[in-house]
Amino acid sequence: MSFSHLGLSEKVLAAVAATGYTTPTPIQEQAIPHVLARKDVLGIAQTGTGKTAAFVLPMLTILEKGRARARMPRTLILEPTRELAAQVKENFDRYGAGQKLNVALLIGGVSFGDQDAKLTRGVDVLIATPGRLLDHTERGGLLLTGVELLVIDEADRMLDMGFIPDIERICKLVPFTRQTLFFTATMPPEIRRITEAFLHNPQKVEVSKPATTAVTVTQSQVPAGREAHEKRELLRRLLREAKDLKNAIIFCNRKREVAIVHKSLQKHGFSVGALHGDMDQPARMAALEQFRKGELPLLVASDVAARGLDIPEVSHVFNFDVPHHPDDYVHRVGRTGRAGRTGTAISMVTPLDQKSMAAIEKLIGQSIPRAEGDYEVRSEGDESTERPREARGGRERSRGGRGRSQRGQDRERSQESRERGHEPRERTREPREQRSHEPREQRSQEARERSHEPRHASDGRKASRPQADTSRVPSIGRPEPRRSQRPVDTEPGDHSHLPAFLLRPVRTPAGA
């Protein structure tokens, strides 16, 4: 099967050929003819299946006829996150290069004024996150009564993020007669309900969900100590020792952890970017772009920020934290080993993660072997030494530190989802939370790393008593050598032991 049999226009076929794609993916093969026949489509497919082009290509063909009117977009695409919205726009830019189409992005973090000016000129394709779209309709700057085609992408993700009421409101603002394309990776009851309410006689197209991880990915787990500093040491060791590492995404469960790990790696000389919900839009896009281009070979990311990102050819995925939801594991690991390429996924597993690992292994239907090498955790299971440390972490627990219960972490996770789900409010609320948590933790974190303290707890009290801890045995069996053994490892500033491409570029004065 080739693209030329699907009914796409000559211009679109030329654009597809220019990208080098010769064969449509199963979702493209099935969905494109229905979209061109102006039928509603219910697509059950995940990212990585080529589903973006499955709606972008026929939309470009449809949009060749007709013109946009001021403030009345012709088509509307709803995406759960800013990054996904930006990625869809990139698809339009790539495949629609030969067409004079106005494509606008309505996402948080970009000025209302600029967006408004673009809407006034008239747009053919409006790509939006639900919160920002409703802000514009409520201000009266946008009319959805001209929308001929509506795409709801990653619907189950929208559900996770609390967007469904917004989607329902938006569906009432677009004409009843529009065509609707609805994509979801799973069909929980709430999603089934809205497909029944908003799709008319839909054509169902389904591509087999990668219920498991690709066979080309080598997965392994490495035992890790509970303490954050132990995990960071272990991560550095894994990065140094990784075979064939070209680029990697390092996943953390919480955005605060993303910031800490990012800073720590930077301090140890790694060339690394970060992607989390607290970063403003330009910073996120810049980090992603640098990673895509290979300027930053490492990216520390949270699930919310990284879901669905189109990042081809990632050689390694590291789970700095084991995800609480097994689906997230599949998504994370799906960043590597794509399209038949080989990949490596390494999970750092603390004693507290055993339950989550068991759930992951059950979902993917295979056990994840321990990595080869000496990765013993000496304190593993030694409750008599671990408990008092946890008990002392009372203050840290209340601040959301590592000693928290699984339920507490889940609560924070859904809190993050809620915040991301209501973008306009996110910016007024999150900075307050950041002020109250991050700088304090990060400051003490930084201070510990700078002074090479034993770093056994991340609360201020422990860090202020470094002498008491120096005799403790590091909990990783073959720990990163201490300063006396190999000074370069813990000496920020001298990173000669890192592979060159992982090193942060040193800025030299102009003309030097």
Among 48, 73, 96, 421, indicate the residue that binds ligand AMP (CB under 6 A). 48
Task: Single out the segment in contact with ligand AMP by CB under 6 A; choices: 23-31, 294-302, 473-481, 504-512.
Answer: 23-31
Nearest 10 degrees: Cα torsion 286, 290, 293, 299: -120
d(CA 361, CA 317): 17
Sign of the Cα pseudo-torsion (79, 85, 89, 91, in order): negative
Provide the token pair at 425: 């409010």
Q: From the CB of 328, what's the least distance to ligand AMP, in Å?
A: 17
CB environment 42-78: b (16+ within 10 A), e (fewer):
bbbbbbbbbbbbbbbbbbbbbbeeeebeebbbbbbbb
d(CA 208, CA 50): 13
Tokens standing for residue 238? 């894994």
Q: Which stretch binds ligand AMP (CB under 6 A): 17-25, 151-159, 359-367, 438-446?
A: 17-25
Burial (CB < 10 A; 0-12, 13-18, 19+), residue 341, is middle
- For residue 109, state whether it binds ligand AMP (rule: CB under 6 A): no
Assess contact for 215 and 341: CB atoms under 8 A. Answer: no
Encoded tokens for 326: 């097994």
Is position 52 an interface residue for ligand AMP (rule: CB under 6 A)?
A: yes
Query: How many residues in the shown chain lie near ligand AMP by CB under 6 A?
Result: 14
Distance of closest approach, residue 286 Cβ to ligand AMP, in angstroms: 20
d(CA 457, CA 228): 8
Tokens 């990060």 belong to which residue?
442
Cα 109 versus chain centre, distance: 17
* Residue 144 lies near ligand AMP (rule: CB under 6 A): no
Which one of residues 8, 40, 43, 51 is an interface residue with ligand AMP (CB under 6 A)?
51
**336 forms part of the interface with ligand AMP (CB under 6 A):** no
Which of 15, 32, 42, 53 is close enough to bind ligand AMP by CB under 6 A?
53
Q: How far is the CB of 348 from ligand AMP (least distance, A)?
A: 27
Local structure of residue 491 (DSSP, 8 states):
-
By CB under 6 A, name the one of 31, 32, 34, 50 that touches ligand AMP.
Answer: 50
Choose the binding region for ligand AMP from 51-59, 182-190, 239-247, 278-286 (rule: CB under 6 A). 51-59
Nearest position to ligand AMP, beta carbon = 52
Residue 247 near ligand AMP by CB under 6 A: no
Q: Give the Cα separation of 54 and 511 in Å (integer).
A: 50
Residue number, 265 or 299, with CB nearest to ligand AMP: 299
CA distance 228 to 390: 13
Closest contact distance (angstroms) between CB of 54 and ligand AMP is: 7
Binder among 30, 49, 356, 379 for ligand AMP (CB under 6 A): 49
Report, in Å, the least distance between residue 310 CB and ligand AMP: 5
Residue 490's nearest CA partner among 232, 310, 302 is: 232
The rounded distance, in Å, linking the Cα atoms of 325 and 409 is 12
Candidates 64, 116, 310, 469: give the one binding ligand AMP (CB under 6 A): 310
Among 25, 336, 350, 445, binds ligand AMP (CB under 6 A): 25
Residues in contact with ligand AMP by CB under 6 A are 21, 23-25, 28, 47-53, 310, 312
